[in-house]
Structure 1
């Protein structure tokens, strides 16, 4: 986003322009309201698809775990190896629980990392809440820097005698 007054590049989080001091709160609100309706509908569809994808994959994992548990119970425990069957069953349940917690943790990190209403038309700039660093500017000497000094005038002997 650029300041409409002076053209300085700003971010949507800034409240005032760093160059001219113009209030940018109202401008940011107006720009976010201008998000096209089609784009908003597409974002809503994308969120619904992601929700359904999570539900379907969760159901698939649940069915797979149930089939695995039934296989362990039927194959190992029914043959008389109760202790090894229970240990295998506890291992499977623990692995599925930890894997689901890792996936849930990553989805939470992703949701917290995204801004509430991202606008792809506006580039995100670096935070500008800091003051600019002091400049230690030393001017570059000019080519003609020492050429304007007055030349030393030498008086001639003949000129002195004429004056006297």
Structure 2
């Protein structure tokens, strides 16, 4: 609340769940505690192991779509940078939950900006993946992506 209050972000008391430092334990904790009513999941990781991070993000982006924020415990252990780090994390969480941190004044009315990209896998599978993003409002602060 020291950080979120001045930013106008209301954060309720979090449900804290401890897990053993095993990938399976963490995934099990997510499966048992994250549901349709969950607004945000914050995971504090003991190290920056990519495989653990990737499994969390896969579960929370694909299997059980829920906004999430991961951080390494070491990042939170430095008292001299804690407020700066907490502010950045709060802003990232606000954005992931639909908050608008900034907007731009564009004189053109009813303008939509659209971006499209396509990745072609050149390996054996030869799959292609497409992505689209489009602005949803006049201030260019809300976006649709697929």
Fold shared, TM-score > 0.5 on shorter chain? no
Higher helix share: 1
| Greater relative contact order, per chain length (Cα 8 Å cut-off, separation 6+) | 1
* Smaller-chain TM-score bracket: under 0.3
Larger Rg: 1
Higher strand share: 2
